[in-house]
Amino acid sequence: MIQFSLFQIPIRVLPWFWITLALIGGALRADSKQALFGMLLFMLAGFISILVHELGHALMAKHFGKRVEIVLQAFGGYAAYSGGGRLSQLQTLAITAAGPAIQILLGVGVWLLNEHLEGLSEHGRYFFTILYLISFMWALLNLLPVLPLDGGRLLETILGPERIRLTLQISLVVAVSIAVLALTFKLGMLLPVFMGMMAYESYKALKQIS
């Protein structure tokens, strides 16, 4: 496990985070030095982009007086916060939205930089391309109204605790739909498994409410 601090925010990076990134980045197909180096560049880009995402949440929570910590783990990570009093609905929305918002800004910035940089090596061009693609795709994935993604949390906050059943129903339907579409269009197994896990958690939560 790697531990460090950034902006006085403690950050922990668990081993499964690197393993997941390596698998997504083509570890099973890395049969040459070129492929292995490409996988490492993918892991670095994923680390930077996901860390920026979680820093968005953490810095906004810190702004509202919360104690914060970031943990990067398999399939992403989370920014935990506590103390500092009760948050308003608007503050909760701001904390939740800050992650994908700053990640999208990172993607736009890197895309513009990549378009205007000349003389970059093939590896440098690949790194910047992967960095902005991960940033856009991760942010958009997180905005899906599926718990516990940011989009699901935003929906949960907007609808309120008295409509948690509706939030879970929407989460379940969207997660199953995305999984089915991913399988139909042969987008690999990672997204269907990811959505299937979230659909199951929403289903379990619904059963507990019942």
Give the pair of three-digit tokens for residue 55: 């820093």
Q: How far apart are CA 193 and CA 118, in angstroms?
A: 40
* Contact by Cβ (8 Å): 170, 155: yes
From the candidates 54, 115, 122, 162, give the one annotated as an active-site residue: 54
* Contact by Cβ (8 Å): 107, 132: yes
Can you state the percent helix, strand and coil of the chain, rounding each to 5? 70, 10, 20
Give the pair of three-digit tokens for residue 156: 């949960």
Q: How far apart are CA 209 and CA 56, in angstroms?
A: 32
The SS3 of residue 40 is helix
Q: Beta 9-13 vs 67-73: how paired, if at all?
A: parallel
Of 130, 126, 139, the C-alpha closest to 76 is 139
Task: Please confirm, yes or no, whether 54 is among the known catalytic residues.
Answer: yes
Catalytic residues: 54
